[in-house]
Structure 1
């Protein structure tokens, strides 16, 4: 699959890389890391990365603003996105050919070819394996920094069960490049004073049920009272993750007419439950969307039943 991917990259002069909406470090890390890997090794190519900006992750790499006509003869690569509905920038289907690179469970077959490896910790680890399997390729500091960011983000700093020996080998290959890891970690986990105060509010007010389900509901009014947005609030999903007896948890954050739900688990698989509520993801980390607080209560009830079983 890696050789096929490299052959296709060789065939196209213009390459446009997408990823999912509301990006996390792996989405941007794999997107930007792949872009640098291509630029560094195929200097004649025009490579662009597109999608909405994320204020908290802007320090990783800025997005490109491109015209529609660039898609006409372009190779489009979509990273870290299980289904088409979640691709950021709907022009992704306008290219001459599309490739999917992802590590989520397969829920939507799109792209030709599709490189899907659910055993990989992250899409960034998959991109890193391109360099690992082809030692003749150049890996720049920027490519290494971005791919390392994606691996760190999706493994929770190598704490999650998705970490394998391949994950550590990939990270070891990346940190041989002398990028500033301390600066990266400082920026990745930086919190504003208002986020820190909202973090305290969540710790004081979240609910833990007898089944081991933790949940927190953040209305738009509460979020705005801290002068924050939904993305800032959602980033606090793991702030009570280490509480004793917790099995699975969900943080709800209201955004206009919808309510975003971030689900996490220490055991029970939650991705099928997330799919019922217009979402999806990994067995232990998923996202969903509900239309009302009543629907949020139904999700909580389902999560309680799942943990009870």
Structure 2
């Protein structure tokens, strides 16, 4: 069983380096840093590092380590919450002695010496909780820091336990985590508080959005619009749920213009959209995916594909 192999690989390794995907969300940080905290607490003698770039909006959760090239020699490398190799933050992930993949996205790229994928899990953070509980009889233990990080990851990927991916197990594991001493209010504030300029852009979106007769909403955040509201591409992450509660909506897509590409965030109330994301240099979950296009014509083609799926949905 993969989870047992992962536990044994960690126990056998003196040095572990943990990666996650580029442009991380709370689950990427939560699973990466939660696993680091779990291993360090359970095995104080081990060296454990977290690789990748810091994201200012999530440094309240944790900050990455400075990992030199030399440290990869003989190390166990674990990649969390990353479905395909091009999205792994820091391409040195393949320079260790062994590579492990832990993920909850549908498999689009099978990689690693050990691959543990659970698409039934709400989040990779939930999977790490499961790993901790599985290893508890072997002397592994969570602590306050690991619980804080893993709880944040679960909250982020379940939309505060609202998304359909939330299961009985999700609540059971969250219940296990809240036994530990950490500030849940601070987590919610850190994840969901928004600056005034972001809320003003949210208001602009709500004033001007249009929904098609098939239930699709297309939002285009051009570079000009982002500049007008002084909102960065990273800050626009907070806007993806802005139209989620509109009555009759089936799916929505945000196109966010960057200097060399257009970032795409797609969400759905029920129709499967990850195959469309895959067609446009992306992927993800059936109801929540991301993609990348390189001009507005390509963006319009993607929107047309979504429109067709919405129209065909009974």
Corresponding residue of 1:216 = 219
TM (norm. structure 1) is 0.98
Q: Which consecutive unaligned segments of at least 5 residues does structure 1 have?
A: none
- Which residue among 247, 256, 261 is the counterpart of 1:258? 261
Residues 1:92 and 2:93 aligned together: yes
Secondary structure of the residue aligned to 2:303 is helix
Secondary structure of the residue aligned to 2:239 is coil
Corresponding residue of 1:129 = 130
Partners of 1:278 and 1:25 in 2: how far apart? 22
Corresponding residue of 2:199 = 196
Corresponding residue of 2:208 = 205
- Which residue among 145, 149, 152 is the counterpart of 1:149? 152
The answer on whether the counterparts of 1:234 and 1:252 sit within 8 Å (CA) in structure 2 is no
Moved more, 74-83 or 189-198: 189-198
Partners of 1:190 and 1:173 in 2: how far apart? 26
Q: Compute the displacement of 1:132 (Å).
A: 2.0
Partners of 1:150 and 1:205 in 2: how far apart? 32
Corresponding residue of 1:186 = 189
Residues 1:228 and 2:231 aligned together: yes
The answer on whether the counterparts of 1:82 and 1:107 sit within 8 Å (CA) in structure 2 is yes
Residues 1:138 and 2:141 aligned together: yes
Secondary structure of the residue aligned to 1:85 is helix
Corresponding residue of 1:52 = 53
Partners of 1:66 and 1:81 in 2: how far apart? 19
Secondary structure of the residue aligned to 1:208 is coil
The answer on whether the counterparts of 1:250 and 1:261 sit within 8 Å (CA) in structure 2 is yes
Secondary structure of the residue aligned to 2:281 is coil
Corresponding residue of 2:11 = 10
- Per-residue deviation, residues 136-163 of structure 1 (Å, max 9, x unmatched): 4221111001000111111111111111
Show structure 1 runs of 4+ deviating over 4 A: none
Partners of 1:165 and 1:223 in 2: how far apart? 40
After the TM superposition, which residues 166-177 of structure 1 pair with which residues of structure 2 at under 5 Å, given as runs?
A: 166-177=169-180
Q: Which consecutive unaligned segments of at least 5 residues does structure 2 have?
A: none
The answer on whether the counterparts of 1:252 and 1:262 sit within 8 Å (CA) in structure 2 is yes
Q: Compute the displacement of 1:43 (Å).
A: 1.0
Corresponding residue of 1:108 = 109
Q: Compute the displacement of 1:65 (Å).
A: 1.2
**What do you get for the CA RMSD once the two structures are aligned?**
0.9
Corresponding residue of 2:31 = 30
Partners of 2:264 and 2:149 in 1: how far apart? 27
- Which residue among 232, 243, 251 is the counterpart of 1:248? 251
Corresponding residue of 2:291 = 288
Q: Compute the displacement of 1:276 (Å).
A: 0.5
Partners of 1:41 and 1:274 in 2: how far apart? 39
Q: Compute the displacement of 1:290 (Å).
A: 0.7
Partners of 1:227 and 1:33 in 2: how far apart? 33
The answer on whether the counterparts of 2:7 and 2:135 sit within 8 Å (CA) in structure 1 is no
- Per-residue deviation, residues 249-305 of structure 1 (Å, max 9, x unmatched): 001100112000100001110000000010000000000111111111111111010
Corresponding residue of 2:168 = 165
The answer on whether the counterparts of 2:194 and 2:238 sit within 8 Å (CA) in structure 1 is no
Q: Compute the displacement of 1:196 (Å).
A: 1.0
Partners of 2:152 and 2:199 in 1: how far apart? 22
The answer on whether the counterparts of 1:132 and 1:173 sit within 8 Å (CA) in structure 2 is no
Partners of 1:238 and 1:123 in 2: how far apart? 21
After the TM superposition, which residues 44-83 of structure 1 pair with which residues of structure 2 at under 5 Å, given as runs?
A: 44-83=45-84
Corresponding residue of 2:304 = 301
Secondary structure of the residue aligned to 1:215 is strand
